[in-house]
Every structure is written in C-alpha cells, then in structure tokens.
Amino acid sequence: MYLLIVFLPLLGSSVAGFFGRFLGSEGTAIITTTCVSFSSIFSLIAFYEVAPGASACYLRVAPWISSEMFDASWGFFGDHLDAAVAPRRYGLDPLLPTLGHHSMSGISTPLVGGCAALPFDRYTVEEADHERYRWKAKTAPRIWVARGRLCPDGGALWGRAQPNRDSTPPTSSAPLYRLNHSLGLVGGTGEPRELADKAAIKAMLVNRVGDFGLAPGISGCFTLFQTVDFETIFACASAPRNSWISCNMRLNAITLICILLLIGAVGKSAQIGSHTWSPDAMEGPTPVSALIHAATMVTAGVFMIARCSPLFEYPPTALIVITFAGAMTSFLAATTGILQNDLKRVIAYSTCSQLGYMIFACGISNYSVSVFHLMNHAFFKALLFLSAGSVIHAMSDEQDMRKMGGLASSFPFTYAMMLMGSLSLIGFPFLTGFYSKDVILELAYTKYTISGNFAFWLGSVSVLFTSYYSFRSLFLTFLVPTNSFGRDILRCHDAPIPMAIPLILLALGSLFVGYFAKYCDEAALAHPTRSYEVTIHPTRSSGVNKNWGSDAGEIPANG
C-alpha cells in the first residue's frame, strides 16, 4: 500500500503521456484522477496507521549505491511529521491538476480529496481543453505528484545511507537533494511560450544554486557522522566537539553543517536572495503555478528544516541566521507585493511572505507551529490561486488588474471565494490563517531575544503590507469602475460547476481547518528548550528541575 501511494500517480501520468492522444480528454482525466484518488485514500489509511500509535514505518524498496564505505537504498519512511505533511499533499492530489496541487492542509484533506477527486479534476480539464497541448498539461502535474511525494517520505538526507555493514536496517530514502529536478517540467507546462520556458529554466538554476549549499551540508554530515541517516545523526549530534578552521575563524562543525543545509532550504523555499524564480513561475497555467508554489516552495525547504530540527537545535548561531533570513524574506516579499499589478504575481509574493513566517518560526524553535502554518497556508493560498484562475480564464487570459474592475457583479461567487481567501491570508480572527500566523508572531515576541524581537517587528509590519495588497487586489479586480470594454465584461461568466466545487471545498478549509491545530502537537519535531521549573515544597527549600518535554507542571520558555 505504501508503494502505491507514490507509484499510482506515476502510473497515471505515464498513461496520460503515452496514450493520451488515443484515450481523449475524458478518458485521460478518468484514469489519472482514479490513480490519484486511490493514492489519497491510501495516504489517509497510512496516516491513521502511523500517527495515533506514534509508530514509525520503514519500507525498503531496493538497493541504490553500495560500496565499502557507503550503502544507500531506495525506500520510504513514515512518522508523525510525514503523517502530517503527506495527507496535506495527497489529499489535494486529486485536485492537483485541478487546483494546481495547492497542497490542502491538515488531516481532513485526504478525505475531501478522495471523495471528490473527479469534480476536482474537472478544473484542469476545463482549462486544459482550451490548450493545444492538453496532454502535457495533464501529464506533468501527475509526475510532480509522484516526485514531490518522495520528499516527506524520506528518512535520510541522501538515500538511506549507512556505513556498509551487514546489519544495516531496511529503512527508507529521502531524496531531499533530488527533489526539484522536475521543477522545470511543470513550470513549462502549457502552450509553448518563450517567457514560460525561461521561467522554467530559471527555477531549476536557482534551485541548483541552493544545492551548492545542500550538497556540502550532506557531505559534511557523512564526514562527521559516517552516515546521512536522520535517526543516527540526531542520536550522535551532541557527540562531536571538533571545529573546522575557515578564513582564520573556528567554526563548530554542527553550526557549519546547519548553515549549509539552510542555504539549500533558502533556494528551495524561495527565501531572500533566491526568491527571484518565484514570481516568474507565474508564467505557466494557473493550476501549474499553484502546484509549484504549494508543492515545491512550501514543502522542500521548510520541511527539510523541520525534519532536521533535532540537529538545528544544537547550534544557536544557525537558529539566529534562520530567524533573520525568514523575517527579512517576509518583509521583502510583502513590500514587493504592494507594487505588483499582475494578479498572479501578487499571490506569488504573498506565498514568499508566508514562507518567511514558516522559516523564522523554525528559527525560534517552534517547528510544530511552522508545519501547522505550512498546512493552513495551503488551503487559503489554493483558494486564492484558483479564484484568480477563474477570473483570468473568463477574461481571456488577462492578468493585469488595472484592465479589470467592476467584476463583482459578473463574478459574485468568485468574488466571495477570493474575499474568504484574502481574509484568511491576513489572519482575520477565527479563520484558518489566524490560528497559526498569530501564534508565530506571539511566540516570536515572547522569545525575548534580539532575533525574536527582530522577527516579531518585521513580521508585524509585513502583516500590514499583506492586508494592503490583498485588499488592493480585491478592489482593482472586483470593486473599482471597470477599465475594460463593456462588451468584454458582458461576455464574462462566473466559475462553472467543475471549477466552483473545488473552490467551495477550499473555502470551507480556509474557514474551519484552523481547529485542527491539535494534530500538529505531537509531530516528530524537536521541542523548544523548556525553562527551569521552580517547585515549592512545604518541608524543604525550593528545588530547581530542568525539564525537556515533560508533561507535568512545566513552564514553557516561549509562553
């Protein structure tokens, strides 16, 4: 069953790619949606097998590299963190071609995706049927489903690597380094256009730049620990005391490794300095744009830091760098978004800004909150992207908000959906975004450190800019007097039923999924260091007891 979770989408994409011309549009849609729907159901079953019992699942598939000093295997690994992230991916995978794999969050997603897969897939069918290369638009996203699924299922930084011993356990692989090789494929999906092709190449190249940090980080782990297996690294992370000398500076080995891994996360999650590929990814079709933003940017970098959280907890310098990088990314993307006139680029910059929140939440050692915001963000961002896609589809592919206006009367349903997504994005009370975004800012404020205060103030200012460009896009698109020809507005129509059903489900998630915060509480993450607990006894003086994740009477340092 675990193998089918990955290989069913790959089977569907292969059928669509090789036989799509013979099966036709409807036949291709039925086959691919069926494959991804079963993958969603199996992902839901796997979640209930792994998460409630707190048991990890190891599955070895085949050997990959075998030498005297290095042994790596293909395989899969599932624990609490994977159980939280995988349903978020696969629950929306039936939507994948539909709503662009905007990884719906949380635990209810697989149920929604598994029950309503075919209506979801109709969104892409509706868009792809207007394209000349519709078979490509249906094939590439499914390849990304299978490819992206390998990220949360990994148990090592590169393969399931161990020193070559006969007793090596049959566990899993994590192609975190190899994740984005197929990024350019989905980025260039759709009609052949020069800008889209350049954007696809740029996305791959920028991610390769990030891998210049990730690859040495993985090599450093193998040099220091003689393995790149997560469990072994976490168990041995406190042992090394040696330092490396670089440019007349003594750098702790763990600190250097974590900073190198952070460079890889910066490239994959479009953080400051490597964010330039993100807006250009909007050149592809709207579902593909959503696919790239949810599946690649959110999952790869943030997930890697969360997965390596026990390692990142040892060097405080690395956590400070992570906090500053995330806070500056959030502020930079928010200030850039207020100047954009392209509807999809505004949403793209909002994604970068939210990724900044996730990264600096990891920097202040609140990984579970970061993962929770990662999942919540998927709901309202998918809703925003697909609502924008509905408008662009009806406006004959026009994306400039200055050429729209007055669409609220013609698009009442889409306007309501986009309003819900925008309110959740800005963290309006009691909507999905509020439950995670507000907590991140509160935790940063109560950190009482320079980096925590820096992240809090930049994050708070970013909220103001986020509110501004969110409502600016609503006003320019729907409320101001129209700047288009009247005859064009009269020909416009609201989202048809195949597009409306996914939007309704996403709107429900944007309203209510925040209540599922409890599902992230026990993720397999390093918890922040607890403060010293002072207990008063009537017969003796107060005693000081340091607790690490104790359940009884602890006082969290971060409030």
282-325 per-position pLDDT tens digit = 776 776 666 666 655 666 788 888 888 888 888 888 889 999 99
pLDDT above 50 for 553: no
Cα–chain center distance at 51? 20
pLDDT above 70 for 395: yes
Task: Quick: pLDDT tens for 466-486.
Answer: 999 999 999 988 888 877 666
Ranking 99-113, 236-250, 347-361 by mean pLDDT, the lowest is: 99-113
Under 8 Å between Cβ of 221 and 295:
no
Say how many residues make up the chain.
559
DSSP secondary structure, 88-123, as one string? HHHTTTTTHHHHTT----SSSHHHHHHHSHHHHHHH
Name the residue type at position 491.
R
CA distance 419 to 417: 5
CA distance 94 to 118: 7
Return the pLDDT at 292: 64
The domains of the chain are located at 2-528, 530-559
* Greater model confidence, 510 or 82: 510
Return the pLDDT at 115: 37
Cα–chain center distance at 204? 17
Element (H, E) at 533: strand 532-537
CA distance 396 to 488: 9
Average confidence (pLDDT) over 27-42: 76
Average confidence (pLDDT) over 164-185: 43
The pairing of beta strand 532-537 with beta strand 243-246: unpaired
Name the residue type at position 261.
L
Return the pLDDT at 213: 82
CA distance 87 to 77: 14
CA distance 499 to 390: 7
Ranking 34-43, 169-178, 467-476, 478-487 by mean pLDDT, the lowest is: 169-178
* Greater model confidence, 391 or 125: 391
| pLDDT band, residue 331 (cuts 50/70/90) | very high
Who contacts 115 (Cβ-Cβ below 8 Å, separation ≥6)? none
| pLDDT band, residue 328 (cuts 50/70/90) | very high
The dihedral through the CA atoms of 301, 306, 310, 316 has a sign that is positive
For residue 136, report the phi and psi dihedrals to the nearest 5 degrees. -70, -40
pLDDT above 60 for 412: yes
Return the pLDDT at 468: 92
Under 8 Å between Cβ of 25 and 57:
no
Ranking 91-95, 117-121, 514-518 by mean pLDDT, the lowest is: 91-95
Under 8 Å between Cβ of 344 and 289:
yes
Three-class DSSP labels, 416-456 = HHHHHHHHHHCCCCCCHHHHHHHHHHHHHHCCCCHHHHHHH
Average confidence (pLDDT) over 133-137: 51
Q: What is the pTM assigned to this prediction?
A: 0.76
* CA-based nearest residue to 526, from 283, 231, 313: 313
Under 8 Å between Cβ of 254 and 315:
yes
**Structure-token pair, residue 275:** 């964010």
